[in-house]
Amino acid sequence: MKLTDLQAIARNNIRRFLVFRVLFNARFYYPVFAVIFLDFGLTLDQFAMLNVIWATTIILAEVPSGALSDLLGRKKLLVLTATLMVAEMSVWAFAPRGNPTLLFWVLALNRVLSGLGEASASGSDEALVYESLEEAGMKDQWSHVLEKAAKWQSVAFMVAMITGGLVYDPDLLGRIASLFGFQGSINKEATLRLPLYLTLLSSIVCWLNCIRFVEVDDGHESKQLSIGAAFRQTFEAGLWILKTPFALIVILAGAFLDSIIRMFVTLNSEYYRLIEYPEYALGILGALIALMNFVIAPLARRLVERKTPGFVFGAAALAGLIGFAGVSFFIPYAGLLFSGLLFAAFTIVTFSLSYYLNRISDKSMRATILSFKGMALNLGYGFIGVVYAQLLRYLARSPDMPTGSNELFIEGAQYFTPYFLIGSLAVVLFVRIVFPRATQLSPQKVDE
């Protein structure tokens, strides 16, 4: 195949990758995620159980899906991902509400399909695009592709947050409709499923986009698919990670930083409320924070291209440490700056993980290795979630703790800074013992 043809394929895959990242990740129900489950008729403990089902599905399917991607092909897994997205949204958008027991099991099916989709997507999209760039002699463009993806995801997230919140509010939607001459009333029953219908529509577009990916000389047709082959692929990739100190360090360090920062980021709405931002501003704040990627993504690209991995880790850790120290004071309004620092650290970690692991992974097992990364991140997040829950239970039993969730949240936030500091130092010590050269590798030599 001519070089010009390979470059055309690479450019096509870049466009498809950007569209896939936007449509798969920016969902219109995100701003009302917990609320919409409860409004459907679930109890809070059922909602928590659905989250457990979702997380468990991802953890169990993460690495096997990567092995399937390496054995069957990246495009097949991406089409499967989009198909699962259409299925999960169809199940939820048309779920019956009359029978609470039936509703729970229907939404449990939705969470299983969603978890399988998340696992199938992990690694396949990045591997396909990186390999098409490599075939076209354009792999140095990979960091620029990641930068574009981060920017477009931010825009899409902002649109989804604002639109999803708007169409879910019957009063606001009614006032907007009246401006266009609509005189009827709009109730909650009418708006309940609108964010789901919009996401179902975007999932169909996502599927149409995925079938237009092009995989160059994948060689997967010659590979025999079997359970044994999948297990061998998984075992070989895991062994490669253990024998490759740099890969092991990148995954472990990334999992630590990602887990604790992501835990606080998921609690941002409660933090914003306690630093005196009104509830109507929460969606807007989330959108504005996401738009920070237009500044942070180029910064992350320059860091991984020009600085050593040790410097990149240190920059993310320092931003995280200052962020956690700042949020612990709950400074009215100005505390938003420290939340922004945590988001910056989170973005740098995510960017550098994708950059380094694609650079150093062999094509034959790249998706499996990226799936190990995904599993490590989810396990780390699950671990810190358990630790945080136990901490809150311990603090709640203290006779000096005032009753009320606000006080408990504020007290629990004081522990993030020391935990983050001690953990970061432990990572540094681990690196110094296992692979002292890792922090000094030049950006040009990480894949040698």
Q: Domain residues for 404?
A: 233-448
The whole-angstrom separation of Cα 23 and Cα 201 is 10
Specify if 225 maps to a domain.
no
By CB atoms closer than 10 A (0-12, 13-18, 19+), residue 440 is exposed
Domain CATH number, residue 299: 1.20.1250.20
What pLDDT does 198 receive? 96
The whole-angstrom separation of Cα 338 and Cα 340 is 5
Alpha-carbon Rg for the chain in angstroms: 22
Contact predicate 411/279, CB 8 Å: no
Query: Strand, coil or helix: what is 17?
Result: helix
Contact predicate 374/123, CB 8 Å: yes
Measured from the Cβ of residue 393, the count of other Cβ atoms closer than 10 Å reads 10
From the list 345, 366, 368, the residue with the least C-alpha distance to 356 is 366
- Give 29's Cβ-side CA count (13 Å radius): 25
The whole-angstrom separation of Cα 421 and Cα 276 is 28
Specify if 67 maps to a domain.
yes
Domain count, the chain: 2
Residues 208 and 251 in one domain: no
Phi, psi at residue 403, to the nearest 5°?
-70, 140
Residues 144 and 258 in one domain: no
| Token pair recorded at residue 102 | 């039936």
The region of weakest confidence among 79-83, 124-128, 175-179, 340-344 is 175-179
Q: How confident is the model over 155-184, as pLDDT tens digits?
A: 998 888 888 878 887 887 777 777 777 766
What pLDDT does 442 receive? 57
Query: Strand, coil or helix: what is 42?
Result: coil
Residues 174 and 301 in one domain: no
Residues 32 and 164 in one domain: yes
Count H helices, E strands: the chain?
20, 0
What pLDDT does 166 receive? 82
Specify if 224 maps to a domain.
no
> Which band of pLDDT confidence, cut at 50, 70 and 90, is reported for residue 222?
very low
Specify if 228 maps to a domain.
no
Q: What is the pLDDT averaged over residues 110-115? A: 95
Q: How confident is the model over 249-277, as pLDDT tens digits?
A: 999 999 999 999 988 887 787 888 889 98
| DSSP letter (8 states) at residue 256 | H
The whole-angstrom separation of Cα 215 and Cα 189 is 44
Residues 193 and 274 in one domain: no
Assess whether pLDDT exceeds 90 at residue 223: no
pTM over 0.85: no
Residues 247 and 299 in one domain: yes
Instruction: State how far Cα 413 lies from the chain centre.
Output: 23
Residues 327 and 200 in one domain: no
Q: Whole-number mean pLDDT of the chain?
A: 87
The whole-angstrom separation of Cα 210 and Cα 164 is 24
Specify if 220 maps to a domain.
no
Contacts of 23 (CB under 8 A, 6+ apart): 156, 202, 203, 205, 206, 209
Residues 49 and 118 in one domain: yes
Specify if 226 maps to a domain.
no
Contact predicate 31/286, CB 8 Å: yes
| Token pair recorded at residue 202 | 């975007």
- Residue at a domain's end among 188, 215, 242: 215
The whole-angstrom separation of Cα 316 and Cα 344 is 8
Assess whether pLDDT exceeds 50 at residue 392: yes
DSSP-assigned states of every residue in 128-149: HHHHHHHHTT-GGGHHHHHHHH
The letter for the amino acid at 310 is G
The whole-angstrom separation of Cα 307 and Cα 316 is 13
Give how far Cα 412 sits from Cα of 45, 159, 392, 396, Å.
22, 32, 6, 10
Residues 418 and 276 in one domain: yes
Query: Strand, coil or helix: what is 427?
Result: helix
Assess whether pLDDT exceeds 60 at residue 220: no
Specify if 227 maps to a domain.
no
More confident residue, 402 or 248: 248
The whole-angstrom separation of Cα 323 and Cα 345 is 9
Residues 206 and 340 in one domain: no
The whole-angstrom separation of Cα 105 and Cα 115 is 15
Residues 238 and 211 in one domain: no
Euclidean distance between the first and the last CA atom of the chain, given in angstroms as a whole number:
27
> Which band of pLDDT confidence, cut at 50, 70 and 90, is reported for residue 297?
very high
Q: In terms of residues, how long is the chain?
A: 448
Instruction: State how far Cα 181 lies from the chain centre.
Output: 41
- Residue at a domain's end among 169, 185, 215: 215
Measured from the Cβ of residue 77, the count of other Cβ atoms closer than 10 Å reads 27
Assess whether pLDDT exceeds 90 at residue 67: no
Residues 350 and 440 in one domain: yes
Specify if 365 maps to a domain.
yes
Q: How confident is the model over 371-390, as pLDDT tens digits?
A: 899 889 988 888 887 888 88
**What angle do the packed helices 366-396 and 405-413 form, to 10 degrees?**
120
The whole-angstrom separation of Cα 248 and Cα 365 is 15
128: left (phi over 0), alpha (psi -120 to 50) or beta: alpha
From the list 335, 325, 349, 313, the residue with the least C-alpha distance to 435 is 313
| Maximum alpha-carbon separation in the chain | 74
